[in-house]
Amino acid sequence: MIESNILQQNIQRINHWLWDTNINESALWQRSMIKFFQIMYAVIRDLRDGQLSLRAMSLVYTTVIAIVPLLALSFSVLKGFGLHNEVEPALLEALVSLGDKRFDIVSNVMGFIDNIKVGVLGAVGFALLIYSVISMMHKIENSFNYTWQIKRDRNMSQRFRDYLSVIFVAPLMIFLSAAITTSANTGVVISYIEALPAGADFVGFISTLIPYLIMSWGFAFIYMFLPNTRVKMLAAFVGGLVTAIIWKFMGWGVSTFVANSASSIAIYSAFASVIILMVWMYVGWLVLLVGASVSFYFQNPQYILIRRDDVQLNGEDSESLALSLLYLIGLHYHKNLAAWEIDLLAKRLSVAPHLVDEMIDFLESLGYIVRAGESSLLIYPAQPIEKIIVAQVLRQLREQGLNAKHSKAVDCEVSGEPAVTYLLNDLREAIDQRFGKVTLKDIIDSRESL
């Protein structure tokens, strides 16, 4: 009993330190520690929900289907720069945690790549090759959008433009960075530094640090690019750094598992390499999704204590959000200010980003607003603000519902009691009489007169 009371007291102290400490008055190291443990709490909660694990499993299947076409396209790009001979060593280095099984896996993958001749596939074959790669990238984008609470995908033209740019440019950048690192390690400057007192230790430290930094920036690029929202560089790098560190531990864990499971793996005979590869892919995707969650919570700490499934709007809040969005968008347009973006609107109204995104979709479907600009991020009024009637917006929101355009259910007409029907008709008439002529411009003008 005494030990239980002591444990409870310690837990209460930790919770008080973690959630009740005034961060603004704390030292830098304390703020960093508190933020680290808060983000870790949120990420562990997401892992316990199981969605990250399920999405990682889905990405394993997608990767197995599309990995050969992806490598074939990358191989064709590298071949144009004379770097195609570096593909096999790079794959062997990436799969080093799989032990000797990596040689069989890489040998089979390279055999498949050699069988795919991009130049002689023909139009149909090349189109199918591109489609399989684009589909894989789209699945990956959906998983990252989930971590960022974004439900709006890129359109087809944006997918081809953005995905193919990564597919063609990323392999070249990876091998160029590896070449730069290798040349730096063998350069005259490195030899001079090693000759200085403690120079060898310094070079050893830098040589250990550089791979982590390269991996961190590589993952940061993924976290900045793949979600269909604007991710800040610092948040992406923090997520990338966490991913790089976990990735190294993951490699050690997988290699230990393979080394200690030789007898069990022998049972699967020829399938052992495939099973090990799929386990490695699953853990790898799970680590990438964890890093994406870290980036999200670092950039949006206000959602650390909010579960995704628990964030909902009642009828009154939906009306408030819809009119607030129209007001802010119309005000900036009327004042010739910078157009709003979803993440900025979410922060201004202290609302979860995916709820703002859903409401923006609803208002866009009704023809009140329109998305424009690069990647359709900027939001403008779709019609003059003096023609947007407040009563009409409220009526459509009540009658159609926020999720009407996403629902496949058949509408059900309810035959209400006459007294109730009369009351509701009276309510509609009261709204029309009071707000039937009030436009969005009237609300904006009333703000200026305050």
Greatest mean pLDDT range, 17-21, 47-51, 175-179:
47-51
Q: Is the pLDDT of residue 187 over 60?
A: no
Helices 156-185, 199-225: inter-axial angle, 10-degree rounding: 180
- Is 258 within 8 Å of 265 (Cβ atoms)? yes
Structural domain boundaries, residue 25? 2-48
Q: Which residues contact residue 39 at a Cβ distance below 8 angstroms, ignoring those fewer than 6 apart? A: 294, 297, 298, 301, 304
Phi, psi of 335 (to 5 degrees): -90, 5
- Is 223 within 8 Å of 236 (Cβ atoms)? yes
- Among the residue ranges 82-96, 238-252, 287-301, 351-365, the one predicted with the least confidence is 82-96
On whether both 221 and 323 belong to a single domain, the answer is: no
On whether both 335 and 370 belong to a single domain, the answer is: yes
Please state, as a whole number, how many other Cβ atoms lie within 10 Å of the Cβ of residue 442.
Answer: 15
- Is 243 within 8 Å of 287 (Cβ atoms)? yes
**Residue whose entry in the numeric block shows the structure tokens 């409220």:** 394
The domain spanning residue 438 has which CATH number?
1.10.10.10
Please identify, among 287, 303, 319, the residue that sits at the C-terminal boundary of a domain. Answer: 303
pLDDT band at residue 429 using 50, 70 and 90 as cut-offs: confident
Question: Which residues, in sequence order, are bridge partners of residue 370?
Answer: 380
On whether both 291 and 342 belong to a single domain, the answer is: no
Q: Is the pLDDT of residue 218 over 50?
A: yes
Q: Which residues contact residue 152 at a Cβ distance below 8 angstroms, ignoring those fewer than 6 apart? A: 145, 228, 357, 361
Greatest mean pLDDT range, 38-42, 103-107, 119-123:
38-42
Please state, as a whole number, how many other Cβ atoms lie within 10 Å of the Cβ of residue 357.
Answer: 21
Angstrom distance (rounded) from CA 6 to CA 14: 12
On whether both 430 and 298 belong to a single domain, the answer is: no
Angstrom distance (rounded) from CA 93 to CA 91: 5
What average pLDDT does the segment 250-256 reach? 74
Q: Is 276 exposed, middle or buried (0-12, 13-18, 19+ CB in 10 A)?
A: buried
On whether both 74 and 187 belong to a single domain, the answer is: yes
Q: Is the pLDDT of residue 338 over 80?
A: yes
pTM of the model: 0.71
pLDDT band at residue 295 using 50, 70 and 90 as cut-offs: very high
Number of folded domains that form the chain:
3
On whether both 334 and 396 belong to a single domain, the answer is: yes
Greatest mean pLDDT range, 69-83, 200-214, 321-335:
321-335
On whether both 270 and 378 belong to a single domain, the answer is: no
Greatest mean pLDDT range, 109-118, 140-149, 157-166, 171-180:
140-149
Phi, psi of 371 (to 5 degrees): -95, 140
What average pLDDT does the segment 375-401 reach? 82
DSSP letter string, 122-179: HHHHHHHHHHHHHHHHHHHHHHHHHHTT--PPP-HHHHHHHHHHHHHHHHHHHHHHHH
Per-residue model confidence (pLDDT) at position 3: 58
Please identify, among 269, 303, 337, the residue that sits at the C-terminal boundary of a domain. Answer: 303
On whether both 260 and 214 belong to a single domain, the answer is: yes
Angstrom distance (rounded) from CA 192 to CA 246: 34
Greatest mean pLDDT range, 28-42, 246-260, 389-403:
28-42
- State whether the Cα torsion 25-28-30-32 is positive or negative: positive
Angstrom distance (rounded) from CA 3 to CA 22: 30
Q: What is the pLDDT of residues 114-130, one digit of tens each?
A: 665 555 555 666 677 77
**Residue whose entry in the numeric block shows the structure tokens 């940061």:** 220
Q: Is the pLDDT of residue 269 over 50?
A: yes
On whether both 262 and 122 belong to a single domain, the answer is: yes
- Is 415 within 8 Å of 368 (Cβ atoms)? no
On whether both 265 and 281 belong to a single domain, the answer is: yes
- Is 109 within 8 Å of 69 (Cβ atoms)? no
Residue type, 51: Q
Rg (CA), the chain: 28
Please identify, among 268, 303, 338, the residue that sits at the C-terminal boundary of a domain. Answer: 303
| Number of alpha helices (DSSP H) and beta strands (DSSP E) in the chain | 18, 2
Angstrom distance (rounded) from CA 166 to CA 185: 28
Q: Which residues contact residue 288 at a Cβ distance below 8 angstroms, ignoring those fewer than 6 apart? A: 219, 222, 243
On whether both 8 and 126 belong to a single domain, the answer is: no
The more confident residue out of 131 and 116 is 131
Give the CB-side neighbour count of residue 285, counting CA atoms within 13 A.
Answer: 25
* Assigned token pair, 432: 């029309």
DSSP letter string, 248-274: HHHHHHHHHHHHHTHHHHHHHGGGHHH
Q: Is 440 exposed, middle or buried (0-12, 13-18, 19+ CB in 10 A)?
A: buried
Angstrom distance (rounded) from CA 168 to CA 253: 32
Per-residue model confidence (pLDDT) at position 16: 65
Per-residue model confidence (pLDDT) at position 390: 84
pLDDT band at residue 426 using 50, 70 and 90 as cut-offs: confident
In 3D space, the residue among 284, 293, 314 whose CA is nearest the CA of residue 398 turns out to be: 314
Angstrom distance (rounded) from CA 347 to CA 353: 8
On whether both 285 and 346 belong to a single domain, the answer is: no
- Is 330 within 8 Å of 385 (Cβ atoms)? yes
What mean pLDDT, rounded, does the chain reach? 75
- Among the residue ranges 40-44, 215-219, 421-425, the one predicted with the least confidence is 421-425
Per-residue model confidence (pLDDT) at position 292: 92
